[in-house]
DNA sequence: ATCAGAATTGCGCAATACGGAATGCATTTT
DNA sequence: AAAATGCATTCCGTATTGCGCAATTCTGAT
């Protein structure tokens, strides 16, 4: 059995269900009971019972006897997750266009605590591309938009973040030094865009911008992810333009380029996802 | 609810979990335990235990003590549902553009047995609009694309469908007569588009077209849904054009307008979703 | 401070979900 | 053609698990 950390509330059947769904998510094609049982370590009869119960509610579907896949109910619930629904709707067409223009993956992220969470994406049709899993997370200091987010709270905020997280290293390029991180973030914020040079994953480079709503608050981040050798600095204005277009849909009036108007950036409320 | 045939495989905890998630999906804002327990008829302590277990896996999230909402895991799994993934990806930008052009909701549907299932949508930013829930279903004979799908199997196929389902009535305009349905469907198929005149829901009108893949097989349906008084016949060519553009992305070479090339439409394998 | 009202947690018990065994259904092997 | 293999699926007695009551803690309002 799963030996949970101390006395958290856990329900065996739900843990097993989660294992089954995760296993199914790893396959692109319908999976047989045999593989699911093996992957999850569950007794076949147990796995079968749970899958059948899930199928009654549409969480999984049985296509042909003995071939299971994730069901339409998950599609429905996934679309009901109201994490940043407004931003997502405003961003989607713009993301699709940007993706087509430059031929690389475009991601929309929200902030959740000390992480960004990927909530929407547009991926090009080419063979080699960078693909983030919707719903997955990444720490702020290893992503382009994450660094912009950090800069919003100033050097003190970055120091606090560093203390909380310890700036774990992900690749050779990850910024693990508070001073370097602070400098990089502040410069990036001033320019209006940030880069990620293989700081989260080797071989992957990003360009990121922030998106503000009508009240001037940062509500999301937009980024392009590409194999590092394909990434071009010429895309930077395109990304900025796209982010601005989304912000405009949300009612944000961009300030005159030079002066910062009235964004009390010191202590922005973090939208808990 | 969908009353499944009396299969005896059921798990109490999973049924209850489903009730809880459904209840949460009905709310836009985070919900308190009290309401969830009341809505589902569960004992508060039971609801709390199940929610906590779900939260451990990210299916729900607790924002502030005692405020629950659907979690990011559902986003992730929803995006992993590979129901027509290729079509969805090809369709999305086209759908967004069509939606912007005509200012009404655009839906992408797949066929699942005797129903269509909504898998993707683009909705305009206007106040009054038609909105289908992603993942929901509707019978073939009350939707525009559904009728086109029926026509694919010829009069015999329509008769069989009528026998299976009994052509249940949804509104005053629902076609409940086999002959009328057959005539309507065949004419629609010949024109290349179908209408839905308040046949599924009062006040809602649709224009639908089919989308074929490289092998000439019908893989999805594209439709525009609008309040009936706003719907314009001028949109028909736009919808057809959009459907063609998606089909082109999937490799379908449209036949010369007059002759039907080589689509063995008699017994097309129905893609089980 | 005091006090509701609600959210949590602990606990003993009965219903529940477990998993081994039996059955059924194809496909392959002899 | 018959037998055997490999699965999926169903059955069923039983130990485990999840249940709901009740007690406790927490939160916010008076």
State yes or no: pLDDT of A150 exceeds 90. yes
Nearest CA to B96 out of A249, A90, A236, A175 is that of A90
Residue-by-residue DSSP string for B144-207: HHHHHHHHHTHHHHHHHHHHHH-----STT----HHHHHHHHHHHHHHT-EEEESSSSTTEEEE
Lowest mean pLDDT among A232-241, B101-110, B117-126: B117-126
Nucleic strand D contacts from chain A, 32-71, CB < 7 Å: 32-34, 37, 44-45, 48-49, 52, 62, 65-66
Q: Confidence class of residue A267 from pLDDT cuts 50, 70 and 90?
A: very low
Q: Within the 167-196 window of chain B, which residues sit less than 8 Å (CB to CB) from chain A?
A: none
* Secondary structure element (H or E) that encloses residue A219, with its range: strand A218-227
- Put simply, whether B233 touches A (Cβ < 8 Å) is no
Q: What does pTM read for this prediction?
A: 0.82
Q: Is A70 close to B81, i.e. CB distance below 8 A? A: yes
pLDDT recorded at residue A65: 76
Rounded to 5°, the CA angle A231-A237-A238 comes to 75
A92 CB contact with strand D at below 7 Å: no
A105, A135, A136, A245: which to substitute to probe chain B, counting the most B Cβ within 10 Å?
A135
Spatial distance from the CA of B65 to the C1' of D25 (Å):
13
pLDDT value, residue B220: 94
Structure-token pair, residue A29: 């094609």
What's the longest Cα–Cα distance across chain A? 67
Give dist(CA A237, CA A12) in Å, integer: 51
**C-alpha–C-alpha distance, residues B193 and B144, integer Å:** 8
Structure confidence at residue B263 (pLDDT): 39
| pLDDT at residue B142, rounded to an integer | 96
Name the band, by pLDDT with cuts 50, 70 and 90, for residue A269. very low
- Max mean pLDDT among B67-76, B124-133, B171-180 falls in B171-180
Secondary structure of A156-191 in HEC code, one letter for each residue: HHHHHHHHHHCCCCCCCCCCCCHHHHHHHHHHHHHH
Q: Is A105 exposed, middle or buried (0-12, 13-18, 19+ CB in 10 A)?
A: buried
Q: What's the pLDDT band for A204 if we cut at 50, 70, 90?
A: very high
Q: Residue B265 — very low, low, confident or very high, per pLDDT cuts 50/70/90?
A: very low
């Amino acid at each position: 059995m799963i030996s949970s950390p101390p006395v958290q509330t856990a329900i065996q059947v739900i843990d097993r269900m989660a294992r089954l769904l995760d296993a199914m998510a790893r396959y692109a094609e319908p999976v047989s009971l045999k593989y699911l049982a093996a992957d999850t370590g569950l007794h076949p009869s147990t796995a079968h019972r749970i899958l059948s119960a899930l199928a009654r509610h549409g969480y999984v579907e049985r296509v042909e006897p003995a071939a299971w896949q994730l069901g339409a109910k998950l599609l429905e619930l996934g679309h009901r997750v109201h994490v940043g629904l407004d931003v997502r709707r405003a961003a989607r067409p713009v993301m699709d266009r940007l993706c087509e223009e430059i031929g690389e993956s475009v991601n929309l992220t929200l902030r959740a605590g000390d992480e960004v969470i990927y909530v929407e994406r547009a991926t090009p049709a080419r063979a080699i591309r960078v693909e983030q899993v919707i719903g997955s997370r990444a720490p702020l200091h290893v992503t382009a938009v994450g660094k912009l987010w950090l800069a919003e709270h100033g050097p003190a905020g970055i120091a606090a973040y560093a203390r909380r997280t310890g700036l774990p290293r992900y690749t050779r390029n990850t910024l693990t030094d508070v001073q370097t991180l602070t400098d990089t973030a502040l410069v990036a914020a001033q320019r209006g865009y940030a880069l990620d040079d293989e700081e989260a994953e080797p071989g992957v480079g990003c360009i990121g911008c922030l998106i503000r709503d009508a009240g001037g608050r940062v509500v999301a981040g937009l980024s392009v992810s590409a194999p590092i050798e394909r990434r071009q600095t010429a895309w930077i204005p395109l990304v900025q333009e796209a982010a601005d277009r989304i912000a405009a849909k949300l009612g944000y009036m961009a300030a005159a380029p030079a002066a910062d108007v009235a964004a009390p950036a010191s202590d922005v409320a973090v939208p808990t996802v």
